[in-house]
């Protein structure tokens, strides 16, 4: 089962300006081959299909716990995409009403790379890559062979790192850069965790290949505060009481990677503290929430008061 918490894993800084093409670049981290939809889809179905769950508990729990974190990454990237597509908050924009629609208020959107993000999705995110190609189930590998699946996951996390570094290099806005910085730290943890799992089973010290690509996290300014907090050493169970067995893989005297701030790896029960979800204001030109929202806000407020 899943439990939902109305927070993001981190609080994102607001965008400096509306930048639909930066939002499109970030879509690669959502619906690209190595995007968050792919890590989520792989671990989700591998954990469902896992055989001998109780006999292989530390390995099953590892895939299951990381699944929940990846769902939160899908949420984080989606929020970043929408924030960049929509730009800085303009208080009360949602009740101001649209500009004169006969005056082509969306003229610039016809030149945006993912025009459908506005025409179909009102400035929101969907599971497509930076060119609008749909994410699809062919990105999911679930073979039933534990070693092969873990090796695939290791490859997937290194691929995700490649994606994130390249997207990071294309962005100037703080919102998109923060998404990349945080996910680079967390992806490093996942690559490291799958490497250690493979080492426990096979004896091969695959973690010596890390980091791949070979750029230390400390070189990226947006990663530094997460390194200082020790995020690179923490793996969360994402459950009130389950999946504690991951400590057999992550911990057990294993240390941080040589380029990162030193220390022992630790399992954190539960989830990160998280941050607030950025409040996206309405987009009058896209009729979201609708052309005249005042009545809807009034109805919602009455319902909220009744529920208290």
Query: What residues does 41 pair with on adjacent strands?
Result: none
How far apart are the C-alpha atoms of 272 and 239, rounded to whole Å?
11
Output the smallest distance, CB 21 to Mn ion, in A.
23
Smallest separation (angstroms) from Mn ion to the CB of 88? 27
217 vs 228: CA distance, rounded Å: 11
Region of 231 (left: φ > 0; alpha: ψ -120 to 50; beta: rest) is alpha
Measured from the CB atom, the residue of 50 and 194 that comes closer to Mn ion is 194
Instruction: Return the number of the residue (37 or 285) whose C-beta is nearest Mn ion.
Output: 37
* Least distance CB 157 / Mn ion (angstroms): 5
Compare residues 190 and 278 and give the one whose CB is closer to Mn ion: 190
Residue 121 near residue 81 (C-beta atoms within 8 A): no
Query: How far apart, in Å, are the Cα atoms of 277 and each of 162, 221, 303?
Result: 27, 23, 22
Site residues (CB under 5 A) for Mn ion? 36, 39, 70, 73, 187, 190
In the complex with Mn ion, the residue whose CB is nearer, 195 or 286, is 195
**Minimum CB distance to Mn ion smaller for 157 or for 173:** 157
Closest CA to 237 of 64, 58, 65: 65
Distance CA 153, CA 194 (A): 7
Nearer to Mn ion, 82 or 286 (CB): 82
Three-state SS at 236? strand
- Residue 82 CB, shortest distance to Mn ion, in Å, is 18
CB of 234 to Mn ion, least distance (A): 14
CB nearer to Mn ion: give 20 or 41: 41
- Report the alpha-carbon distance of residue 125 to residue 75 in Å, rounded: 10
Which residues does residue 236 pair with via DSSP β-bridges, in sequence order? 268
Q: Say how far residue 42 (Cα) sits from the centre of its chain.
A: 14
Ramachandran bin of 223, using left for φ above 0, alpha for ψ from -120 to 50, beta for the remaining angles? alpha
Question: Considering the complex, what minimum distance in angstroms separates the CB of residue 186 from Mn ion?
Answer: 6
Shortest separation between residue 73's beta carbon and Mn ion, angstroms: 4
């Amino acid at each position: 089962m899943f439990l939902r918490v109305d927070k993001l894993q981190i609080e994102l800084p607001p965008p400096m300006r509306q930048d639909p093409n930066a939002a499109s670049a970030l879509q690669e981290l959502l619906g690209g081959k190595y995007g968050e939809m792919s890590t989520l889809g792989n671990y989700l179905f591998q954990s469902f299909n896992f055989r001998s769950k109780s006999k292989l508990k530390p390995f099953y729990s590892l895939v299951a716990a990381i699944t929940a974190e990846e769902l939160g990454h899908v949420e984080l990237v989606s929020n970043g995409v929408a924030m960049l597509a929509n730009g800085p908050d303009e208080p009360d924009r949602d009740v101001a009403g649209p500009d004169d629609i006969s005056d082509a208020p969306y003229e610039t959107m016809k030149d945006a790379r993912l025009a459908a993000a506005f025409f179909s999705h009102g400035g929101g995110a969907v599971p497509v890559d930076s060119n609008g190609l749909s994410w699809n189930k062919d990105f999911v590998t679930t073979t039933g062979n534990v070693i092969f699946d873990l090796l695939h996951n290791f490859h997937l996390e290194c691929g995700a790192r490649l994606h994130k570094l390249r997207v990071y290099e294309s962005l100037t806005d703080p919102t998109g850069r923060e998404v990349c910085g945080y996910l680079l730290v967390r992806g490093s943890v996942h690559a490291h965790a799958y490497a250690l799992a493979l080492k426990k089973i096979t004896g091969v010290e695959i973690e010596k290949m890390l980091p791949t690509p070979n750029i230390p996290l400390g070189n990226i300014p947006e990663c530094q505060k997460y390194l200082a907090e020790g995020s690179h050493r923490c793996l969360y169970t994402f459950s009130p009481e389950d999946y504690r067995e991951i400590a057999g893989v992550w911990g057990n005297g294993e240390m941080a990677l040589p380029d990162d701030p030193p220390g022992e790896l630790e399992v954190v029960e539960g989830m990160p503290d998280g941050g607030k979800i950025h409040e996206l204001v309405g987009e009058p030109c896209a009729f979201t929430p609708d052309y005249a929202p005042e009545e809807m806000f009034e109805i919602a407020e009455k319902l909220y008061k009744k529920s208290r």
